[in-house]
Amino acid sequence: MSSIQVIKPGFFDSIQDLGRFGFRDLGVPLSGVLDSYSSKLANAILNNDAFCAVLEMALKGPTLLFQNDTVIAITGANLSPKLNEAPINMQTKINVNAGDVLSFGALKSGCRAYLAVDNGFKTEYVLGSFSYYKGITNFYKLEKGLFLEIEKSKSSHKLDNAHVKIDKEHFSTEIIEAFKGPEFNLLSKNQQNYLFKNKFKIELNSRMGYQIETTIALSHEIEMLTSSVMPGTVQLTQSGKLIVLMKDCQTTGGYPRVLQLTEKGIAAFAQKNTFQKIYFKIK
């Protein structure tokens, strides 16, 4: 088995695949990549299975030392990737040799980037998934000195300098697709209309969830029992704050579930940063 050494971690980097399925009844979150569009694209470029684990990087990327030869692809947010201090392209295959150093610079667009390696990362596998999560895996984010296991590539891939075309709207759109949630009809007609006719500013974002500005027009007195929630569930607090749950969210919650993002909506939302504005659109 080969490895990649973490010389310097980024802001929040974690190994993720498509998720940890079948354990939500035990309170185990789904986890997995936030932007499945970008992660699947990275794996597809290398002809990996879509379920292969990738490295998810948020806002600021790490510095990584490759112990062995492999092939990589980088997609998602543009974090100005560099190999041995020379800028490299995204959305394409790149041969990496033992001793090479991959680093990242300024964030130019998006919020989260994805690094795929040949045959995927082979780190700790727990409950059917490689996805990091605090309390489930030994690590929940990259740490200095950590070695990330990968398979040794049998041979270098043939490079053709071709770039995979990306859907630019995925990163630029302010539209977030959603379905009506279970408690949507408990809102007044004015509140329902308000949800779709106004832009909302993001205040905080993390793998657990995004918090959107409090809006008095959405305040309410609805009370409900704790109920099941999932990634993409949009909760509405009594003060009028919207909370968009993401892949590391809890399995139950007590706020009205007014919307449910589509998988496309979750992926697009994952590329939004604090202070940006979005609006919801019914699928």
The whole-number pLDDT of residue 156 equals 55
Between CA 139 and CA 96 the distance in angstroms is 25
Task: Find, among 62, 56, 61, 13, the residue nearest to 35 by Cα.
Answer: 56
Q: Could you tell me which residues are beta bridge partners of residue 253?
A: 227
Q: Residue 169 belongs to what H/E stretch?
A: helix 169-172
Tokens of 237: 């607090």
Q: Residue 66's pLDDT is what?
A: 97
Containing 163, the helix (H) or strand (E) segment is none
Please tell me the distance from the alpha carbon of residue 222 to that of residue 239, in angstroms, as a whole number: 11
CATH number of this structure's domain 173-282: 2.40.100.10
Task: Determine contact, residues 17/129, Cβ cutoff 8 Å.
Answer: yes
Strands (E), the chain: 2-8, 12-16, 54-58, 63-66, 70-78, 81-83, 86-87, 94-96, 101-104, 109-117, 147-150, 175-180, 200-205, 209-214, 227-228, 233-236, 241-245, 252-253, 257-261, 277-282
pLDDT in tens, the chain (283 residues): 689 999 999 999 999 999 999 999 899 999 999 999 999 999 999 999 999 999 999 999 999 999 999 999 999 999 999 999 999 999 999 999 999 999 999 999 999 999 999 999 999 999 999 999 999 999 999 999 999 999 877 655 555 555 677 888 999 999 999 999 999 999 999 999 999 999 999 999 999 999 999 999 999 999 999 999 999 999 999 999 999 999 999 999 999 999 999 999 999 999 999 999 999 999 8
Q: Which two tokens stand for residue 128?
A: 């059917």
Predicted pLDDT at 230: 97
pLDDT at position 167, please?
86
Q: What pLDDT does 168 receive?
A: 87
Q: Are residues 24 and 251 in contact, defined by beta-carbon separation less than 8 angstroms?
A: yes
Return d(Cα 181, Cα 228) in angstroms, integer. Answer: 12
pTM of the model: 0.95
Helix (H, G, I), strand (E, B) or coil at 129: strand
What are the residue ranges spanned by the domains of the chain? Answer: 2-169, 173-282
* Token pair listed for 89: 């392209």
Q: Which is nearest to 111 in space by CA: 263, 232, 267?
A: 267
